[in-house]
Amino acid sequence: MKPRLGVNIDHVATLRQARGEKYPSLVDAAHKALESGADQLTIHLREDRRHIQDYDVPAVKLVCERYNRPLNLEMGASEEILDIAVATKPEWICLVPEKREERTTEGGLNLKGEGYSRVEAITAKLRTGIPGVKISLFVEADLDIMECCAKLNADAVEIHTGDFAIHYNREEDVSRFLEDFKRCHEYSKQAKFAFHAGHGLDDKNIIPLLELGVFEEYNVGHWIISQSLFTGLEKTVADYCKLIKNYQV
């Protein structure tokens, strides 16, 4: 089975919001990404609305429905965002940590103490409000965290690959990250939840992960949208699909 590619189109909205215009169109980007082979679309509705806006969520969901592909909505454990998610009913919800001051997501969910209780409460509300929804938890590759995900009955974990990507891009040793990914993947098989990856990935640092062969899905955004400035969104997505097609999970 080849890994799936989720294309995160947040940064199309980042460019749009920089000038408060109606362009570039997030809906057009959604169409082009799916036409070019993306297996799903990912968007993150942040509390500060720095890129994706409330009206974008149902609009992108409609595009996904047209292509019979899932929408993966990333969100923090927020009651306000919960209401929007329940109204839109995406196939996947990925719960992520969120801090107003961060430039981008800096790490995995805190699943200890109050953090665990908050995630437990929001997942219960999501499952009540969206029957059949699948919930993914954005976490670090840590066995204690994997146990917490199992207790929460997560359908998947999305491993934060940001630190791995930074070390790889600096040409530093990444063997410890790969070992952690393998250990957590073994746990995920026993616990029967899916194993995804995301954050900081490009066309080079994804190679050792593809060779590792443990991730069923990759969610890639910033690099794809950035590269699209030079090669176009359709070609960039199509080329990325070709890249991961050569590998099996």
* Residue 107: per-residue pLDDT: 82
Helix residue ranges, H only, the chain: 10-19, 26-35, 56-66, 79-88, 114-129, 143-151, 162-169, 175-191, 207-212, 222-231, 233-245
**Which of 51, 160, 185, 199 is labelled catalytic?**
199
pTM of the model: 0.95
Q: For the residues 139-165, what does the mean pLDDT come to?
A: 97
* Residue 81: per-residue pLDDT: 96
Assigned architecture for domain 4-245: Alpha-Beta Barrel (3.20)
Q: Taking CA 140 as the corner, what is the angle to CA 160 and CA 42, rounded to the nearest 5 degrees?
A: 35
Catalytic: 51? no
* Rounded-to-10 torsion of CA 76, 219, 161, 116: 30
Q: Among candidates 246, 241, 240, 208, which has minimal Cα distance to 223?
A: 240
Each domain of the chain, given as residue ranges in start order, spans 4-245
Q: For the residues 62-90, what does the mean pLDDT come to?
A: 96
Residues composing the chain: 249
Catalytic: 44? yes
* Residue 99: per-residue pLDDT: 61
The 10s digit of each residue's pLDDT in 92-139 is 999 999 765 455 556 899 998 889 999 999 999 999 999 999 999 999
* Token code pair at residue 239: 């080329």
**Which of 11, 44, 51, 185 is labelled catalytic?**
44
The 10s digit of each residue's pLDDT in 42-56 is 999 999 999 999 999
Catalytic: 199? yes
* Token code pair at residue 60: 């992108």
* Residue 98: per-residue pLDDT: 74
The 10s digit of each residue's pLDDT in 157-206 is 999 999 999 999 999 999 999 999 999 999 999 999 999 999 999 999 99
* Token code pair at residue 54: 């409330």
